[in-house]
Amino acid sequence: MSDRRQNINADSIDAILPAQMAKKAEDIGVAKANLSNAQLLLLAILAGAFIAFAAQFYTIVMVGAGDTLGFGLSKLVGGLAFSLGLILVIIAGAELFTGNNLKVMALASGKITFKQLLRNWVIVYVGNFVGSVITAVGIYLTEQFTLADNGVGVMAINIANAKCGLEFTPALMSGVYCNVFVCLAVWLCFSARSNTDKVLCIIFPITAFVACGFEHCIANMYFIPIGMLLKTNAAFLGAIGKTSADFANVSTWGFLSNILPVTIGNIIGGAVIVGATYWLIYRKNV
């Protein structure tokens, strides 16, 4: 009896193995495919807000961090702060477009149709955008950009300007590697037995992608719109001794020129490099 009890306890504590993780990924993909349009949209709006919270947390943490910690350590601290976003998405429950790229595993096994996959991606992408932009407007109205003698606002608008200035190929490839890390974080969570496990699975991949400066389409739905709002604030620009011309990249076109290649890259990184690869390894011949 004691041996049996020990086996049961070990099964409940040990991490789920990769082959079982692949099966779990498919099952979760099926469950997500069966959510109603209203459920998907509301959960996606939440995810957009959660990622926006993390983006604002990152912005505040990065103010002055480079001067104090230096380049590498400041990026590390910023990445740790941004990990908040996926922790909220996974544990609180929300629908994030980039993580949902792993639904291709359920598609490849014939458990969902391409129409179901596309429906999920479109609704979730739109919902993430709505949640991110609403949060950007709300945080802008708090006037947190005035904190640290307008340092938070300077950091925010500089982040937006840099992102809007990326050329297509760097934005695309940064999107690819970003979602390799994000989907690996989600993949690792499939092995978890507890919320503590999930947090630990998330922190290192997300910290890595942020520290490396890779591009996440949903995060950019916050970073760029708040930069656009700040660019229209004459009082803020005057306080930092700048004009709107100093942030020429921050515009509707700049937003679109970033989001398009980053989104394509995110799909390649998450759906192809992570999702399709693990499906080929563990589910193709099942």
Q: How far apart are CA 281 and CA 276, in angstroms?
A: 9
| Residue 31, pLDDT above cutoff 50 | yes
| Residue 14, pLDDT above cutoff 90 | no
Q: How far apart are CA 145 and CA 162, in angstroms?
A: 18
Q: How far apart are CA 91 and CA 27, in angstroms?
A: 18
Exposure string of 148-174, with b = 16+ CB inside 10 Å and e = fewer, is: eebbbbbbbbbbbbebbbbeeeebbbb
First-to-last C-alpha distance (Å) of the chain:
34
Sorted by where each starts, the structural domains of the chain and their CATH numbers stand as: 21-282 (1.20.1080.10)
What pLDDT sits at residue 11? 54
CA distances to 52, 94, 186 from 91, rounded to whole Å, are 16, 8, 11
pTM for the whole structure: 0.93
Q: What is the pLDDT of residues 41-81, one digit of tens each?
A: 999 999 999 999 999 999 999 999 988 899 999 999 999 99
| Residue 1, pLDDT above cutoff 50 | no
